[in-house]
Amino acid sequence: MRVLKFEAEELKGEVESLEDLWLLSRLVEPGDKVKGTSFRRVKALDLTRADSGEKKLVRLLLEVTQVEFAEAVTRLRITGKILEASPEDFAQQGQHHTLELEIGSRFRLYKPFQLYHKALLEEARRKAKHVKALILVMDEKQALFSVLQPNGIRFLFEIENPASKRDPKTFEELQRKYFEEVLETLEKKEAERKIIAGPGFTKDEFKRFAEQKNPRLCKQLWFEHASSAEKTAVYELLKTGVLEKVVQGQKVQEEFAALEALKKSLGKEDGLAVYGVQEVQEALSMGAVQTLLISDLLLRSDKSLNSLLEQAERLKSKLLIFNSEDDAGREFSAFQIAALLRFKLKY
């Protein structure tokens, strides 16, 4: 997101990506005020005309009542009551209207920004610099393509391998066609990092094939081991930290790593992790919190918890807000709020 102005209770920005729209869906809340441009249908004064009116460009200030993120059409729909309109003739105060923000849209958001909102905004700034990775998990049966985005994993499609060792006459030719289709897909897909992982020898055979066919592309490829070519293998790469070596700073990687550290500590009962509002408050009061983990849904539903974020900031504790719509966030919903500690509170 391109931040053009941010001070006091005003944010002026420009949407640069789909992730920006998703983040704004978390930032904009009912009761906020949003200014942007839109089209209003204005009917002609000539009552003899049967048309439904002409669309006119108008600049509106809305008091927000509803926010809807429409990922399929790459738009954020912000509905609210009209407070101001320019030109005034095209819209009346008190009427309801919907602003549609898309990539390239500029907007102004007016609200009392809490620490939670500022953390989301800082995340938007960081996301603009993040590397996106293409992940391919493959074996002798299939190749599954996915992409690691700032707000999680998106699975794309599979390529099936028709080759079978039970039919040695056609095996080599069908295997070659399978490798050619996978390689062609890797060549077409744009990403700054491309990771290929899988079990057994198929991945290694494909590596040798790719090195012969396109040695330049191979310099962009990162080969790793995975236990299968299923979706679970992609999450395995995230949870075991393999992708951390390849793509530094991705939020979904941070979420999975922190969640694994939390579960491991609780499983070992080593006293270096707690969960629950009361337990986290106690840990913060003793200055023991190294990383505060909290669900975005919990923050949106309980504004009083912003005081915990402010306390964590004063203690220089790291803050990680889980995205409730990605896989790590959904798993973290069992905890809602937790903390990884600098030292044990009980012995």
Q: Quickly list DSSP for 47-94.
A: TT--S--EEEEEEEEEEEEEEEEEGGGTEEEEEEEEEEEESGGG--TT
**pLDDT at position 127, please?**
59
**pLDDT at position 176, please?**
94
Given a cut of 50, the residues of the chain with pLDDT beneath it are 47, 249
**pLDDT at position 340, please?**
97
Longest pairwise C-alpha distance within the chain: 85
Instruction: Work out the burial of residue 325: count CB atoms within 10 Å of its CB; fewer than 13 is exposed, 13-18 middle, 19 or more buried.
Output: middle
How confident is the model over 156-180, as pLDDT tens digits?
Answer: 999 999 988 888 889 999 999 999 9
The CATH class, in words, for 2-42+55-127 is mainly beta
- Model confidence, pTM: 0.60
Terminal-residue alpha carbon distance, the chain: 46
Residue type, 83: L
Distance (Å, whole) CA 281 – CA 292: 10
Polymer length in residues for the chain: 347
Distance (Å, whole) CA 91 – CA 225: 60
DSSP bridge pairs for 142: 160
What one-character DSSP code corresponds to residue 132?
A: P
The CATH class, in words, for 135-246 is alpha beta
CB 49 within 8 A of CB 41: no
**pLDDT at position 131, please?**
53
The residues spanned by each domain of the chain are 2-42+55-127, 135-246, 265-341
Distance (Å, whole) CA 192 – CA 134: 8
Residue type, 76: L
**pLDDT at position 91, please?**
80
Quickly name the fold that domain 265-341 has.
60s Ribosomal Protein L30; Chain: A; (3.30.1330)
